Structure 1
């Protein structure tokens, strides 16, 4: 069933997930709230945020079709590509976006507490994010700290790096966002070294999958010849 629903790469990742030994019953939770309980008020604001993103009412210029193509052709997990797409569309639930929609009363970054938390700030220019980028690829380190729309940051990165390097950047963005959420909702904050280690683990899994896929293709070709 997993192989029927997901792509080959995603199915390989899913089946590697360990099954929890906990015997407690599953329960429905609303992932958009910190307590897991559904809220009509929050659902209303959340739907408004989605509608605003799709209607193109953001003051940021719309990303070019080339950027969309570059994002969706990355050979990484679909959820990571979706995160990049949402970041480029400026529809991530950052403090600034939630403040604009009157969900929150303040827009300051929950980590540095000094600058408004835009998508670009959260994923790129915040000192906490820069501490991670400074440990990443040298080409990324040479990129200037931009403060414009995040789609412009991504466009610059895509024009500078190649396929494998872009995959590493994508996973770094994923873990930077996850670390931000862990701090905002659970008061847990991973060090830059821990984040880099997680990115390296993702890249190792990706390389292993690609190698196994090539072996399977070669074996299939050899079998056809025989």
Structure 2
């Protein structure tokens, strides 16, 4: 099996794998989602192949929900897993997202969502804003600010998806796999010297790694004791709220150490790996922390009344990351400055600060309309 060539930021040298890049370019050719295969030319069939990239990598933006299948399509605002993982309970496997929406009130039916999805997914679903009017379900490309597919984004997705498939299928070059390919004649782990080195053994089960995993990740070790491959370990890590970034960094150092040992190079003591992982993670976070923007002294703004017989709405929001919530607030005053109404509301934390700001404005306007105010500033 040929191994994909990862981009530079995924550890590669930056060379493009031409077949993957070609497929990503073909996916750019017009609106091909509704096209039928038929008996077209080789060129047409090649273009249609690019459709699979879009179908596999694009996410749905929920409008009316009638074109989105709950359990098959990518529609959750989660960059790591946009597909629903909760099993079908009440609705069939082909149910549409529209059954979860109260069309009269343009909101999620919260008790239905809570009763059919795992708590984290339910919270995520309820944080998705819905249109006041009947909107259309739209596909967008995640990770792009404008949501528009590009060849570069498609190529990156293609490579990342294939790398994930390799990990899931246990295709890492462990000694067990190299022996299956007749590259090696002995599958014994070079670290412990007693058991065959599968991917799970090399990264997780080797007795020599106890001083790494047991000493610093005891709860994860207990939660993942029944896992049959390393992908399951990572899934348990994410589901149970363990420090995934530190686990990933530790895993990377374990694999790097294993490769150096194989080449006869000097390697660090296993007891130092945890502190090395923490230092590397701290350095990574420091390198990716944006520089603080210069502080500006905010001048005091005096509230100005609206014209006669109009009302003015002031609104704001706050984010509570620890609780996974956001707060919305609004106050309505007349042309004399008298408070006509006020609102405070807690909602599930949206996916971005920009989304919080949009929801602030929308809730403030709907609040004024609910109270019958027509002339609003």
Given the two structures, how large is their TM-score scaled by the length of structure 2?
Answer: 0.34
Which residue in the other structure is 2:177 paired with?
A: 97
Separation in structure 1 between the aligned mates of residue 219 and residue 275 of structure 2, nearest angstrom: 19
CA separation of 1:113 and 1:145: change in aligned 2, threshold 3 A = farther
CA separation of 1:87 and 1:128: change in aligned 2, threshold 3 A = farther
Separation in structure 1 between the aligned mates of residue 196 and residue 254 of structure 2, nearest angstrom: 17
Separation in structure 1 between the aligned mates of residue 225 and residue 172 of structure 2, nearest angstrom: 20
Which residue in the other structure is 2:121 paired with?
A: none
Separation in structure 2 between the aligned mates of residue 129 and residue 87 of structure 1, nearest angstrom: 20
Which residue in the other structure is 2:168 paired with?
A: 88
Which residue in the other structure is 1:52 paired with?
A: none
1:181 matched to 2:192? The reply is no
Contact 2:175 2:186 in 1 (8 A): yes
Which residue in the other structure is 2:270 paired with?
A: 192
CA separation of 1:146 and 1:115: change in aligned 2, threshold 3 A = farther
Separation in structure 2 between the aligned mates of residue 139 and residue 115 of structure 1, nearest angstrom: 25
Q: Out of 189-198 and 119-128, give the one that drifted further.
A: 189-198
Q: Which has the higher helix share?
A: 1
SS for the counterpart of 2:215 is coil
Which residue in the other structure is 2:209 paired with?
A: 129
Structure with max Cα Rg: 2
Q: Residues 33-72 of structure 1 correspond to what in structure 2 (within 5 A)? A: 69=80
Q: Which runs of no fewer than 5 residues in structure 2 stay unpaired?
A: 1-6, 11-73, 82-142, 144-155, 300-377
Alignment partner for residue 140 of structure 1, among 214, 220, 234?
220
Q: Out of 123-132 and 86-95, give the one that drifted further.
A: 86-95
Q: Out of 167-176 and 87-96, give the one that drifted further.
A: 87-96
Given the two structures, how large is their TM-score scaled by the length of structure 1?
Answer: 0.54
Q: Which has the higher strand share?
A: 2
1:202 matched to 2:213? The reply is no
Render the CA deviation track for 1:107-149: whole Å, top value 9, x for unaligned: 1111112211110000000012222112323432433444612
Q: Which runs of no fewer than 5 residues in structure 1 stay unpaired?
A: 11-64
Separation in structure 2 between the aligned mates of residue 109 and residue 6 of structure 1, nearest angstrom: 30
- Deviation of 1:93 after TM superposition, in Å, equals 0.8
CA separation of 1:132 and 1:122: change in aligned 2, threshold 3 A = same
Separation in structure 2 between the aligned mates of residue 173 and residue 167 of structure 1, nearest angstrom: 10
- Deviation of 1:209 after TM superposition, in Å, equals 3.4
